[in-house]
Amino acid sequence: MSKSIAFFDGNFIPTNEAQISIMTHALHYGTAVFEGIRGNWNNEKNALSIFRMKEHYQRLLDGCKLMMIDLPYSCEDLCEITIELIKRSGYKEDVYIRPLAYKSAEIVANLKLQELESNFCLIVIPFGKYLTTDHLRCCTSAWRRIDDTMIPPRFKISGIYVNSILAKTEATLAGFDEAILLNADGHVCEGTGENIFLAKDNALHTPSLSENVLPGITRNTIINLAQNELSIPVIERSIDRSEIYVADECFLTGTAAHVTAVTEIDRRQIGQNEAIGPITKLLQQHYFEIVKGNNNKYLEWCSLITA
Ligand code: PMP
C-alpha cells in the first residue's frame, strides 16, 4: 500500500501534517530552490529507477549557495533521505520527487538573505505524463527569459518560475501546448520547463549554457546519447528564432517532459507531415530504456529502489 509521506523538519510524517506558517518568507518572495526528479517504475525489476539523483541534488545545492540557504545535508545525505522516503511511500508506479529548500523564517519585511533561517522538505507524488501530447504545437512567447543579471536561470529558484508560468499560461490560453521563450538578446532560449534541440543536416543544435538556459540534466543526457550512441555531433551555440522554422526536427527535453517532439511552431510545420523525426525517435528509444534502468551501460545514472 502506498502512503503520502513527506520529509519535513528532519522527520518523515504524513504529508497532510507537514504545514508551514502564512508568515513564511518563501511564500511571500519565492525565496526557495527546488528540484524535479523522476522515479520510473520498472515492472520487470519490481523497482523504481530514480534518474540521475545526484546531479539533481548537486544543482539544488548550487542554487542554495546563491540563495544563502544553509542545509545541514550533503548531496549524499539528500540522496539517502530520498531513498528512505521512496521506500516508506511504497509507490509501484512512476513518481515525481520534489525537494524544496526554502527560507523558512517567519519574518515578512526583511530582504536580507543572510538574516533568514532555512529549512528543507521533500515530497513524492505519483506522476504519469506531464505533457498531454507527444506532437507539441508551440508558439514563441511574448515573454522573454529572465537574464543572469536579474535572477540566474541556471538554478531552479522558485520565484523565477513566474516567468515560465506567465509564458505557459499565455501559450495554452492561445491554444498551443507549450511556449518557447527567447532570451533578452532575442535568441532561442528554452521551453517553460524544458530545454530545446533542433536537428539540421544530421547535427543537433541547442542553445549554449550562456544563453540563460537551465543546465538541464535531460539536456546533458541527450547530448551524451547523440554523440556516443548515434555519432551525431551536438553544437551548443546561440540560435536565431527563424532557425526553428526551417529545422528538420525539433524536440524539448526535461525531467517531466522527457524527450518530446515539437511538430509545429508559430503555425509552421516542422519536418515532414507531422511525423516525429528519425533522430528524435532514436533518442527517445535510448532515453526511455535508460531512465527505466534497462540499459546496463548507463546503470550508474539510475538508483534502483526495489519494492
Ligand atoms: N528548463 C527549465 C526552465 C526547467 O524548469 C526544466 C525542468 N527542470 C528544464 C529546462 C529541464 O531540466 P531537467 O532536464 O534537468 O529536468
Q: pLDDT tens-digit profile of 152-210?
A: 999 999 999 999 999 999 999 999 999 999 999 999 999 999 999 999 999 999 999 99
Closest CA to 98 of 110, 86, 116: 86
Residue 2 pLDDT > 80 = no
Distance of CA 10 to the CA centre of its chain: 25
Contact 183, 149 (CB under 8 A): no
pLDDT digits (tens, 9 = 90+) for 10-21: 999 999 999 999
Sign of torsion, CA 154 172 123 96? negative
Task: Report how far residue 133's alpha carbon sits from residue 254's, in angstroms, rounded to the nearest whole number.
Answer: 15
Backbone φ/ψ region at 49: left (φ over 0), alpha (ψ -120 to 50), beta = beta
User: Is 156 part of the annotated catalytic residue set?
Assistant: yes
| Centre of ligand 1 from the C-alpha of residue 45, in Å | 28
The predicted pLDDT at position 272 comes to 79
In which band, very low, low, confident or very high, does the pLDDT at 1 lie, cut at 50, 70 and 90? low
Query: What's 267's DSSP letter?
Result: T
- Mean pLDDT on 269-282: 91
Backbone angles phi, psi at 102, to 5 degrees: -140, 155
CB of 280 within 6 A of ligand 1: the answer is: no
CA of 35 to the centre of ligand 1 (A): 9
Amino acid at 82: T
pLDDT at 59 over 70: yes
DSSP β-bridge partners for residue 260 = 252
| Contact between residue 197 and residue 206 where contact means Cβ atoms under 8 Å apart | yes
Place of cell 526557495: 32
Largest CA distance in the chain: 57
Q: Answer yes or no: are the C-beta atoms of 277 and 271 closer than 8 Å.
A: yes
For residue 206, the one-letter residue type is T
Calpha distance 39→86 (Å, rounded):
9
Determine the Cα–Cα distance for residues 81 and 178; give it in Å rounded to an integer.
33
For the chain, the C-alpha Rg in angstroms (whole number) is 20
Tell me the best of 130, 214, 217 to mutate to test the pocket of ligand 1, counting ligand atoms within 8 Å of each CB and taking the most: 214
| Pocket lining: 207 vs ligand 1, CB cutoff 6 Å | no
216 CB less than 6 Å from ligand 1?
A: yes
